[in-house]
Chains A and B, each alone.
Chain A
Amino acid sequence: MTASMRLKEYSAQLASLVLIILGWEIAAQTMNTNALPPASTVFATLGGLVADGDAFGPLFSTLLRTVLGFALGFLLGTAYGIFAATFKTFDELTKWLIQIAIFTPTLILIFLFLVAIGRTNFTVIILIALVVMPMIGTYIRDALKDFDPDLEGMAVSYKVPLHQRVTGMYLPFLIPPMLAAGRIGFTLSWKVAFLAEIFGFPNGLGWQVRQTYQIYNVAGLLAWLCLFIITLIAIEQLMRFVERRVVTW
């Protein structure tokens, strides 16, 4: 990609954001209602939250739960994907279980877990893992099914030792889908953590959003929301950067 193309891409991406914020500001200024505070007020509130340090407590407690839940779900999902792609019987045994896990509404799981297991950090971590695991598992399983059997035949016919096959063939094949699944999975984890907080877990970003909504503090609601989105963007960019660095072939 040439520099001018990249510049064009960034300017287009920026243009829509500027347009949204501008439209928001103008709409808020002309409507002048409580329901829609101007963008400037919201960002000032956000700035205040960051400057006072009030933002960091909820942010880090949500982030910690997300990271732990995601890590658990990612490990289980990857292991599941490898097993399911390798052993046909295991794939068949877990087929319906995975379908059930995928199609059960997240909200019902959240209600159920928060009530049945209690409102602990552990509950939220288990919840995240349970939602993320089947998504990552099926992604990796399907990616591994594309593994070229000819390559395997070549390795066997050249008597390539197992550890070399793992580092030379399986891992390079496995890492790109793992990174891609990880990126999608992390976004999902972040949302599940947030949802669990909105629907009753008494701290973190989601809890703040719910609180501000209940006292109808719209500027506060949007400020916390912006914090949520900005964190997500930052993490997403970080993961893309890592992906580009690792996947160079």
Chain B
Amino acid sequence: MSGHSTYQPQGKLAKWIDSRLPILTLMNAQAIDFPTPRNLNYFWTFGAILMMMLVVQIITGIVLAMHYTANTELAFASVEKIMRDVNFGWLLRYMHANGASMFFIAVYIHIFRGLYYGSYKAPREILWMLGVVIFLLMMATAFMGYVLPWGQMSFWGATVITNLFSAIPLVGESIVQWLWGGFSVANPTLNRFFALHYLLPFMIVGVVILHIWALHVPGNNNPTGVSVKSGQDTVPFHPYITVKDMFAMVVFLLFFGWFLFYIPNYMGHADNYIPADPLVTPAHIVPEWYFLPFYAILRAVPSKLGGVIAMFGAIAILFFLPWLDTSKVRSGAFRPLFRQFFWVFAIVCVFLGWLGAQPAEGIYVVLARIAMAYYFAYFIIILPVLGLVERTKPLPASITESVLGKKSGGGAQPAGSTAAPQDKG
């Protein structure tokens, strides 16, 4: 999809630079002229929103790191110092803590958009898999970030999660001690978590670049799932997509601001305002909300090793999704049966999240097992079978046809409705 650009650098300096390092040509082709389907809906703005959130997290995180002390004796107090004595420290810390939640809200919408519109299907398999890698990196980063304030949930969350690795036969115990840097979660653990929490976001940046690269080869999927067939189906990235993304980003910031300024502790857990105490176990150890569906799956399996395998399997299965879904039709909009199973899947995921916050006993465990069964069945049974038996709705011949057909109520092209949108307007 690249290479459509006819950009020639104009100024003397621009020509000088571009002939040595064609970065201006590159940026022009990828961020200005890049042909983008004209029918993208607002679910396609979450990529830009996620880029914004990554930048917000990195900037606030770097400044916080200038004031934070990664030592079990001092960490909690250093966070309080940030909240009380550092200029706008409260803003930085609340922005970073709530920003993590916002990041996950955006990424979950982004992932479910991909699931619904079949954005993982050929030729976008690598794009999808890179996305899963980013998701994994995000989870690791967020988990380690939550440990840094060294509150009760930090400590006990770290204890529970690192202990999962002890389920690995033979080498489990050694791996856990290696992760801890000792025989329990303690100062060496906090130190390495801080180092990794600083490192991983930059690895995310690296994979994001690959993710965008893999996106810009086939170009965006779109709500019809029909591939771009001609220039008429697309608009240049700038100004069409840039202005739309910016609008969506600002609306998202309003949502972010609601939590950040008015209910900054809503997403957190009260116990994390109690300094870590290895001798006192909290009544309920719960991870951050964005891990709850996976936490529910972990606890739904009676054996420890089984639970760990199920939990990691729940994410690992996403890597195989492009080959599990056998349907040739990408978009859920033309798959009436798929659509029902998809929405049940979405509800099941939210339900699993709710279950993850409940105690692992009685009816909750039974419900978690049912929900988990559906989660895996969706990938292993439903999607492969659906592709073979489902009668899909007829696809539009092109994106342009679907857009114009929708507007005029028929199939005819109204005169003058397309002012060659592929050219810059």
Q: Do A and B come from one complex?
A: no
- A residues within 8 Å of B by Cβ? none
List the interface of chain B (C-beta within 8 A of A). none
